[in-house]
């Protein structure tokens, strides 16, 4: 029984080693950053950010879809094959008309062997436009009494 268990264990180790060798081949996705931090931006400000994607594998990488976590986060990606060592840029536009915290994600779907669904995030805060002070109400100027007559 011990010999059988040792044989099964050895076979599993050999298969694991083979799988690791195989994992390094094919298209591989690498992103320049996991998170884009806008910091604090003004309402209506520039909500555009970019993520640079590199194919670190040995076969063409094909991005099939980029999807934002909500309608306020709109990614734009090129679906043309990315050759090994080449790069592409994914542009993400956030709707800065919405005041408050930004914490959204973009899912990049591809034929990558290391991360078929790569998730990147955007974060920050949109500050509301400063309120303009309303002009004070002018006091009415008293009029001289009108004589009847």
What's the average model confidence in pLDDT over 105-119? 98
Alpha carbon distance 34, 31 (integer Å): 7
- The percent of residues in the chain predicted with pLDDT above 70, rounded, is 70
Listed in sequence order, the residues at least 6 apart from 108 whose beta carbon sits closer than 8 Å to its beta carbon are 29, 31, 53, 63, 65, 66, 75, 77, 90, 117, 118, 119, 120
Task: Band the pLDDT of 129: cuts 50, 70, 90.
Answer: confident
26-127 belongs to CATH 3.30.420.40: no
- Confidence at residue 137, expressed as pLDDT on a 0 to 100 scale: 54
Alpha carbon distance 118, 109 (integer Å): 7
- Confidence at residue 99, expressed as pLDDT on a 0 to 100 scale: 94
Render pLDDT for 53-88 as a digit per residue (tens, 0 to 9): 999 999 999 999 999 999 999 999 999 999 999 999
What's the average model confidence in pLDDT over 92-111? 96
CA dihedral 94, 98, 104, 105 (to 10 degrees): -30
**What is the DSSP track for 75-140?**
EE---S-B-TT-EEEEEEEE-TTS-EEEEEEEEEEES-SS-SEEEEEEEEEEEPPPPPPPPPPPPP
Residue with token string 């669904």: 117
What is the reported pTM?
A: 0.71
């Amino acid at each position: 029984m011990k010999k059988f268990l040792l044989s099964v264990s050895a076979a599993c180790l050999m298969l694991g080693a083979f799988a690791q060798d195989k994992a390094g081949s094919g298209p591989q996705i690498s992103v320049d950053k996991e998170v884009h931090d806008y910091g604090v931006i003004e309402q209506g400000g520039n909500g555009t950010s970019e993520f640079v994607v590199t194919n670190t594998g040995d076969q063409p990488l094909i991005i099939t879809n980029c999807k934002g976590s909500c309608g306020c986060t709109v990614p734009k990606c090129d679906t043309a094959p990315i050759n090994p060592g080449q790069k592409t840029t994914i542009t993400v536009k956030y709707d800065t008309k919405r005041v408050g915290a930004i914490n959204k994600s973009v899912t990049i779907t591809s034929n990558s062997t290391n991360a078929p669904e790569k998730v990147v995030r955007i974060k920050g805060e949109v500050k509301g436009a400063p309120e303009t002070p309303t002009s004070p109400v002018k006091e009415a100027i008293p009029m001289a009494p009108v004589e009847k007559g």
